[in-house]
Structures are given as C-alpha cells and as structure tokens.
Structure 1
Amino acid sequence: MTLTHPAYGQLRQVTETAAVLLADNPGQMTLEGTNTWILRAAGRSDCVVVDPGPKDESHSAAIAEATGGRVALTLITHHHHDHTGGIDHLVELTGTSVRAKDSGFLRGSAAAFADGEVIEAAGLRITVLETPGHTDDSVSFVLDDAVLTGDTILGAGTTVLGSGSGALADYLSSLDRLLEAGKGKALLPAHGPDHPDLEPVARYYIAHRHERLGQVREALRVLGSDADAMAVVRRVYADVDERLWPAARSSVQAQLDYLRVHG
C-alpha cells in the first residue's frame, strides 16, 4: 500500500530520488512534525539527508535504519531546533559530515554553504539557494525534479517571518527566487505534505504576504502610525488562536519594518 502523509517513522517515497521520514513532533509550529528528507540517486546505496529533525533518539535511529547508515552528507535548511536537534546523534550513528549556512552546525570537515553552489554527493547534484526571511540562515535545495524549501514554504498554512529588519523584503525576494527555480518541480517542505508543483504554492504565498501588508496598512490607519506590533496583531489576527499571537507578532514586526521603508 502506498503511504500518504502523515506517516510517522515510515520511509515514504515521494519522487524518484526523494523519500521522507516524518518525525513524531507535532505542534502548532511544526504542523504534523518535521520532515527529514532522504535523497538517493538511482543505483546508489549511499544518500544525502536533509534536516535530521529534533533531538529524538528514535527518529535518529529510524534515519540510520532507512539509510543503512550510508549517509554521505547531511544538509541543514536552517538553525531551528526541530531541524537540528538530532544532528549529533545522527553523526554518532552514521559518521556523516554536516553542512549548513550557520557554521555552528557544521560537523566533520564540511564548509558553510555558498549561495548558488552545486553540491555533488551520493550521485546527486544539489544547488544551494539562499532563501532568508523565516530566518537569516534559511536555505533551499534545488534538485532536477524538486525543491526542498525548509520552512520558507510549508506544505500547509504559511510560515512565520523573522522579526529582524529587512526580513519581509528578504522573504519576498526568496519567494521570487523559489518561483523561478521551482518551475515544473515538486515542493518538498520541512513541515506538512509535499506538493507535485511548487509554483501555485509559491504564488499563493506571495499573494498572502501582500494581502497581509494591506491589512497591516489598514490597521495602522485605524490605530495610528505608531501602533506597536502586538496592537496590530490583535486587530489583524483577531480570528487566529491567541496562542499563535507571539509568533504572529514576529511576522507583523517584519511587516511594520517593511512599510516604514517601502510604504
């Protein structure tokens, strides 16, 4: 029987080269859990792992079992703990080297990513695409038939923006880059279900961000131009579970910063 999302702890083949193991860490921010992607070229026994997931020994063991311990390289989409907590246990189990944008997550003799570089490992060619906005260190990985988007584009809902200055401008640019790089390719996100075509999801994300900007502009018109982020959240996100308001505040702050520069 063909597995469908979600399938905890079971290797689910999605494309010819990409299979996924879903970590059992569901939550409001992680959706059903973190997707650990296992990439394997035709005829190869070794593989590339993307995002080892949270600090969960059973998940790390499942990755090691699914790969037979033959992990040529592990790649990290960004620094959040639900993606990186399992790094060291996976290194212990498989001896994999680890690459990331943030040098604090490098293991072995690996170097930090460079935008646009092509990684050749386990018979695969993987292009690194810097896609900041969710975090400063967010990257995506472009394969021949798919794009692994980390938390930059999710399989359901929308992502939270970093609150740093320039986060929304960075994010809109990242979405444009993914739209271009993902033409005719599948979307393989770090949370939520995969999609056979990245383009409509990316276009929805772009439209959603501009819609939210319009709502924030209207909120400022009512509340005053000096309204703080949480005041805007209470108005714009009134229909959203209040437990998500702290995360929404980060996105609203990014939008306020954007509007102060771009209008």
Structure 2
Amino acid sequence: MVPEWCHVVRADNPGPMTLDGTNTYVLATDAGNVVIDPGPLIDAHLTAILGYGPVILTVLTHHHLDHSESAARFHELTGAPVRARDPKLCIAGAPLDAHDAALDVPGSGAPALELRVLHTPGHTADSICLELTGPAPSADQPDETHEPSTLQRPWRGLIAGDTVLGRGTTVVMHPDGRLGDYLASLELLRTRLDHAWTLLPAHGPVRTDAAAVITQYLEHRRARLDEVRAALASGATTPREVVEIVYADVDRSVWPAAERTVAAALEYLASLR
C-alpha cells in the first residue's frame, strides 16, 4: 500500500520498453510537492501532475526521454529546480553528485519525508535510485491503545527508475550502461533493503516485495550470463547472433534493446578473462 502523501501518475506512453507507461511519483510535503520523473512531454500528463498542487523540486532518475523529456517545460510551469546526476539535465539546481546522501527536500517537515540518493549505474551511467522514508499509510498505523513509540512506524520505499521494474526485467543500455556496474548496483540494493520495503518502479506496478524482486533480478542476470556463454560456445560471435539464440522466444520488437544488453554481457565476460 502506498501512503496518502505518495501519488503515482502514469503517463499515456505505453510500449514494449515502457510497459504500461512511465510512472511519475508526486510526494506531498507541507511546502509543496516533490516530483520524480515528470516523464514524456504530454500536456495531459503534466496537467495531471500539477493537479496535486505546487511543486518545489523535480528529480530525474536518468536521462532517457520517457523520464526527462518534459523537464524543461515542467520547470517553466512550476519554477521548481530540476536535479539529476547528470549536470546537463539540471535546471536551477545542483547535480546529485554525492552517493548515499540525503536529498534536501524543502519544507518536508509535515509529513517528515527523507530521500536518500543512491548512485546505481548500469541501465545507464547516470541512473539513480531514491530511498524514501515517511509516515506509513493510515490503515497500517497501530491504534491508539499501543505505546506512543509505535504509533509512527516509518514506511520505506525504493524509487527505482529503470534500475528495477515492476514487471519483467530492464535493459542494460550498452555502451552507456555497463553490466558490471549494473550487477554491483543490484548487490548494493540487495544489501540495503529488507522485506518491509516497497518497490516504486518507473514502469509496471508498485510492488510490496522489493527485496525479493531485486534478488530475482540478480538471479536472472546470472542465468542470462550462462545462456550467453552457451551461445558463444555454440558458435555465436555477435550480439545479434547471441540474441537469436538466447532471446528466441522473446517478442522481436525488443530484440534491438536485447542486443544492447547482450553487448554489455559480452563486454563483461571479456573483462573476466
């Protein structure tokens, strides 16, 4: 369950790579909203985001257009700074250079929100995730007969961008994305999250089993590496030839993206020699 102060606004841009569309997250504070990934430049989508009230900060999880295309227009509409890891994406705000650092959220005292920036390269070089901590949904709070110390259990969510999706698996967009980086990012997330965390992906449904999904992602990547090794042993020499073997049962519309991931896998395997 997502708390009352966290709103999910899905853009109308469905497709093989975006699944049901890009999820924009609107986090309510006493001073205004923090918006994560305003998404594609679709007027109706921006209007829906603005329907939740004034915006004080916009954060981009990475540079892909289905997340960042509307950032400049959104800044014009809101006046809110835009921050990202890549300085080229920032507007009136500093780049998110520090890893595992608290993000300054103006006016976040009610409700008390905390956002921590994690550098999680792999899908892209500039990918970040955000650890989000705040009050739990009202329905999840203990009743008033409990001790006061238990009345405000924190709720924790991972805003994952495209690093971890709500359905299926993501793409390592080689050469910008590197598989070694991606595996390290998944391991980082695995060590930080427990069963109580909620996954807030940029595509696909919100999941209440974030830690389990990350473990599944690691297992999937290791299995794919074994399949790539087998394809190479059978005589495949190019990313396309590997895709034709490893992704034979996958919709061909995603084969170009699969080639990028396979190229990343080949580079990674070469680095192990």
TM-score by length of structure 1 reads 0.89
From 49, 56, 65, give the equivalent of 1:81.
65
Aligned residues with identical type, % of pairs: 44
Among candidates 37, 40, 45, match of residue 28 of structure 2: 40
| 2:201 counterpart of 1:189 | yes
Q: Structure 1 19/216 Cα, relative in aligned 2: closer, same or farther at 3 Å?
A: same
2:40 is equivalent to residue 28 of structure 1: no
Change (3 A) 1:109 1:77: closer
Distance 1:186 1:216 in 2: 32
Please give the secondary structure, in 1, of the residue aligned with 2:244: helix
> Partner of 2:77 in structure 1?
93
State the match for 1:254 in structure 2. 264
The equivalent of 1:129 in structure 2 is 118
Distance change (3 Å), C-alpha of 1:28 and 1:102: same
Q: What is the aligned partner in structure 1 of residue 98 from structure 2?
A: 114
The answer on whether the counterparts of 2:167 and 2:204 sit within 8 Å (CA) in structure 1 is yes
CA offset digits 1:43-66 (Å, max 9, x no partner):
x25121000000111111111112
Q: Report the TM-score, using the length of structure 2 for normalisation.
A: 0.86
> 1:99·1:113 contact (CA, 8 Å) conserved in 2?
no
Match of 1:202 in 2: 214
- CA 1:156–1:109 in 2, change beyond 3 Å: closer, same or farther? closer
The amino acid that maps onto 2:90 is L
| Deviation string, structure 1 residues 104-159 (Cα, Å, up to 9, x no partner) | 11111433432122112131321100001100000000012111000000000000
* In structure 2, C-alpha distance between the alignment counterparts of 1:234 and 1:24, rounded to whole Å: 31
Match of 2:255 among 242, 245, 251: 245
Query: Which amino acid is the alignment partner of residue 244 of structure 1?
Result: V
Task: Name the residue aligned to 2:188.
Answer: 177
Q: Name the counterpart of 2:42.
A: 56
Give the paired residue count. 245
- Deviation track 1:230-260 (CA, whole Å, cap 9, x = no partner) reads 1100111111111211100000011111111
CA shift, 1:181, in A, is 2.3
Cα contact 1:79–1:137 (8 A) shared by 2? yes
| Residue 162 of structure 1, CA deviation | 1.9
For the pair shown, the structure with the greater C-alpha radius of gyration is 2
